[in-house]
Chains A and B, each alone.
Chain A
Amino acid sequence: MAPWAAHDRPFLDPAVVARLGTLELKARTIVEGFLSGLHRSPFKGFSVEFAEYRQYIPGDDLSTIDWKVFARSDRYYVKKFEEETNLDCHLMLDVSGSMGYGSHHAMSKFEYAAVLAASLAYLMNRQRDAVGLTAFDETIVQMLPASSRPGHLRAVLVTLDRLKTAHRTDVSKPLHLLAESLTKRGMVILISDLLDDADAVISGLKHFLYRGIDVIVFHVLDPDEIDFPFERATRFEDLETSDEVLAVPGAVRDHYLKALDAMVERYRRELGAVGIDYVQLNTKHPLELALLSYLSTRARAL
């Protein structure tokens, strides 16, 4: 069963999203559609501020209906609130060479990650959370401090749009740099394929925890990386190092999948043990699933 089957409408297929125009449009389409499909508003919090009235639609919480307005107009309206938060969210996007891989039937990992980052930024912006962006490969290549100013979202989206994949990965170094630079509690969202030394990555992520910062890790993998569907003897060239390995997939598939499973399982186990949400994403699966994970973690963080 598809992971989005329980919802009223299916989530957007990444292939469809990929054909949308700008990054902003992609993000808006995903987030708005995602939010409108939720049965229950996730915006309920300790401190809320009235935002607007909206006509009741089935599925809205009945407690939010403004009965006074109903008495005056004989129509159901619900009161919309916007949370007042001071959450700083930092999006860490991996732009190393390995993120550039994409099988023919889906977005590349980088495109997927960029849309995800844009969607998250859009969602955060709608929730008035401060959103920052850090792009890195073996070092930090682009950094926007967290801000909730109205124009900041556009700056984030433009930055995302201009990013290119290029160099080798060194996840831990940017993580430590960012961890050192953050002075306020908040949330860090790492979007990466984590094809790096696992010990270093986990160590870097733990650095945030020491500073009281919640972390979500979106581990982006291409379907080819998950299933290894190759059949013929193939010369595999490393996107970052250009090393070549000739292999007959039938002969190495089991070994590869075991190695991948071991890596994923390690991240899942060791990150979960310290309270870091680890979400494995398949680039052929809808992005909304990632948003759900974010919202769940955000709710816990507040």
Chain B
Amino acid sequence: MSFLSPLFLVGAAAAALPILLHLLKRDPDVRVKFAAVKLLKEAPVEQTERHRLRQLLLLTLRIAALVLLALAFARPFVPDGAAAAASRATIVALDTSFSLDAPGRFDRAKQLARSAIDRVPAGEAVGVVTFADEAAITAKPSGDRVLARSAVDEAAVGFGSTRYRAALSTAAQALGGRTGTIVLVTDLQEGGWDAGDRAVVPEGVAIELADVGEMPPNLAVVNVHSAGDRIVATIRNTGPSARDARVHVTIDGRPAGDATAALGPRQSGEVSFPAAPGRAAVVSVDDPGGVRADDTRYAVLEATRAAQVAVITGSGDLAREAFYAEHALAAGGARGYRPVGLSGATLASMPANGLNDYAAVVLVSTRGLDRHGRELLAGYVQSGGGLVLAAGPDVDGEVVADVLGHDAELRVSTVPGPSATPRAIAPADVRHPIFHPFASNAAALGLVTFRQAARVDGSGCQTIARFTTGEAALLDCSAGEGRGLVLASDLNNRWNDFPLHSTFVPFLHEAVRYVGSGRAQGSDYAVGDAPAGAPRRPGIATVADRQHAAPRTVAINVDPRESDPARLTPEEFQSAITHMKDAASAEARGEARQQEDRQHLWQYAIALMAIALVAEGWLAARTV
């Protein structure tokens, strides 16, 4: 029996203290030698022995009730049997990313995993974790080697890419606070660590690497895009020798061309095909000895263009009024956005659903924005659209008050003239999604100097970043089914130097992605990022983002980074791991909490306490 909050057990002792004091300090029994006891015996009184028994029973029930109460608060649980018995455990983490899909590689990985299981000393628990983009515990730590080997046998290579952080985190969780070893069976791809990524494992947990070996010579289709009347495919040769890559393309299942590309060692090349009418193209390369999953790539021909983002300025001329925002949004090619400049006058003549084709709207100026335009924006946001408002010098506070709708009034006031003190921006809550790109370097945002800012506030808005002077810098506003982000400054290098910093592009992308999450985005997804409703495997899929919305066709492909044969040395791998003392206890606490949640023993303690109290009440009513 273990306890989630054992300190409450001290409470049980404290609760018994008054009883103890009562017992110690109570007056001694009054004893009287009496002559007429014979007459007393005829009265309904208790005999001493029976009374003592009842008193003892009462005391026991009262103490039991208090102890049970403390026990319930201490959240008891019974640790899992065999796993709990073993103080050490070995977790075998098996890489199932598609880079192991080359002939014989995954078999070798499984063999390494089995060997690792067989090496675990008797009496030590062993568990299995499989990982790619995500990790899963396929065999909980136990003394059953057959179970662990069975989990390895049943493991299959998938289409995900390697993510060591997920693997180590899940393996540490599987250890459940025990010391032991994590045996990582992988091909040590460099791409398994994101830039600046680090994994934290508990102190006392050793990391062993079982190297599957480097990737065999491989040809991969790493990109397919439509360029006017042609379909262009990028083929990468990761081998050490030059190869002729035979490439095929089919459009909507019909062969549409073959081509051969001569690729030098570790070289990429493009192959183009004439575009034929069709919805989706599949480009494949002949690579019998290499990784199979990256030999084919899918593309949606009719929607290979990036999602549109409306940028509302005074005249609609982005080059003049929103130069930096335009270029920032467009950065990233197909993974970026296609900014479209709209003026207030354009909005005035736009039909009610005119903005529905845009993934998001960036409002940088209110000049020319009339009532109809504001209602159009409000309706767009209320129906699930996203608005990014840059409250710069061209934004009139009175005009934007209702752009999010009447139930989400904005209060924006601009202070004329530059501020006496430049200020920086600091996230109030770094867990907010738009700060994810800065998770490892949130301080980079602080390098931006804001010379002037508007005062922003709004009902239903949450301040997610503040200036160093304390004013709200970024608001996250909820309006109907949509969302708005309000930046208390401009995006055009007038009140701040934000566009000149490297954080500007990811910030704007994340802001648009965040507010426009309810709208259609691009059509090319990696397996790990596949939209809801789409299968987690490469192919062409049709998904409906929202109810009543028209379904859209998306292409789901393997992550081309996984085809990169660059490898880490064991030392480089180990250097990305941090052993933390608290991590062990945190893992143990997490595991204990889960077990306690499953067992709910505290409820039984409370029930028993209630029974004890009822019995105590019943007995007390019948005791002198």
Contact = CB atoms under 8 A, between A and B. Distances in A.
Given A99-B35, A256-B39, A260-B39, 14 more contacts: A195-B36, A232-B30, A237-B37, A238-B38, A243-B37, A246-B45, A246-B46, A246-B47, A246-B624, A251-B45, A252-B40, A252-B43, A252-B45, A256-B36
B226 to A, nearest CB: 98
A83 interface: no
B42 interface: yes
Given A247-B624, A256-B40, A101 B46 contact: no
Given A246-B51, A256-B43, A235 B31 contact: yes
B30 A234 contact: yes
Contacts of B48: 235, 244-246
A240 B41 CA distance: 14
B333 interface: no
Interface of A: 97-101, 109, 193, 195, 222, 224-225, 230, 232-241, 243-248, 251-252, 255-256, 259-260, 263
Contacts of B30: 230, 232-235
Contacts of A233: 30, 624
Contacts, number: 97
Given A233-B624, A235-B48, A247 B40 contact: yes
A230 B41 contact: no
Contact of A101 (B27, B33, B39, B51): B33
23 contacts: A97-B35, A101-B34, A195-B35, A225-B34, A233-B624, A235-B31, A235-B32, A235-B48, A236-B33, A237-B33, A237-B37, A238-B33, A239-B33, A239-B37, A244-B48, A245-B40, A246-B45, A246-B47, A246-B48, A246-B51, A248-B45, A256-B39, A260-B36
B154 interface: no
B32 to A, nearest CB: 5
B502 to A, nearest CB: 85
A35 to B, nearest CB: 32
A237 B45 contact: no
A256 B44 CA distance: 10
A238 B624 contact: no
Contact of B47 (A97, A195, A244): A244
B571 interface: no
A17 to B, nearest CB: 21
A236 B37 contact: yes
Contacts of B47: 244-246
Interface of B: 27, 29-48, 51, 624
A275 to B, nearest CB: 27
Interface residue SS majority, chain B: mixed
Contact of B45 (A101, A222, A245, A263): A245
Contacts of B31: 234-235, 237
Nearest to B49: A244
Nearest to B52: A246
B153 to A, nearest CB: 74
A235 B40 CA distance: 11
A192 B32 CA distance: 21
Contacts of A260: 36, 39
Contacts of A263: 39
Contact of B44 (A237, A238, A244, A252): A252
A251 B40 CA distance: 11
A72 B29 CA distance: 76
Contacts of A243: 37, 41
B45 A247 contact: yes
A42 B42 CA distance: 44
B32 A230 contact: yes
A259 B41 CA distance: 10
Nearest to A236: B34
A175 to B, nearest CB: 19
Nearest to B55: A246
A238 B33 CA distance: 6
B43 A255 contact: yes
A200 B35 CA distance: 19
B37 to A, nearest CB: 4
B457 to A, nearest CB: 70
Contacts of A232: 27, 30
A240 to B, nearest CB: 8
Given A246-B48, A246-B624, A251-B624, A236 B32 contact: yes
Contacts of B624: 233, 246-248, 251
Contacts of A255: 42-44
A5 B39 CA distance: 33
Given A101-B33, A236-B32, A195 B38 contact: yes
Contact of A239 (B27, B34, B39): B34
A263 B38 CA distance: 11
A28 to B, nearest CB: 29
Contacts of A98: 35-36
A225 B33 CA distance: 12
A193 B35 CA distance: 9
A238 B43 contact: no
Nearest to A250: B624
A43 B327 CA distance: 144
A193 B39 CA distance: 13
Contacts of B37: 236-239, 241, 243, 245
Contacts of A248: 45, 624
A162 B38 CA distance: 28
B32 A234 contact: yes
B40 A236 contact: yes
The CB with the most chain A CB atoms within 10 A, among B32, B37, B41, B45, is that of: B37
A241 B34 CA distance: 11
A238 B624 CA distance: 20
The 5 closest A-B pairs by CB, nearest first: A98-B35, A255-B43, A238-B37, A252-B43, A247-B45
A195 B35 CA distance: 8
B45 A225 contact: no
A148 to B, nearest CB: 34
A235 B51 CA distance: 11
A169 B295 CA distance: 115
Nearest to B45: A247
Contacts of A237: 31-34, 37
B34 A238 contact: yes
Contacts of B39: 256, 259-260, 263
B46 to A, nearest CB: 6
Given A246-B51, A256-B40, A225 B35 contact: yes
A222 B40 contact: no
Contacts of B33: 101, 236-239
B7 to A, nearest CB: 39
A282 to B, nearest CB: 14
Contacts of A109: 35
B25 to A, nearest CB: 16
Contacts of A240: 35
Nearest to A257: B39
The CB with the most chain B CB atoms within 10 A, among A225, A247, A248, A260, is that of: A247
Nearest to B36: A225
Nearest to A263: B39
A247 B32 CA distance: 11
A166 to B, nearest CB: 14
Nearest to A225: B36
B35 A245 contact: no
The CB with the most chain B CB atoms within 10 A, among A98, A222, A236, A241, is that of: A236
Given A233-B30, A246-B51, A259 B35 contact: no
Nearest to B37: A238
A237 B29 CA distance: 12
Contacts of A236: 32-34, 37, 40
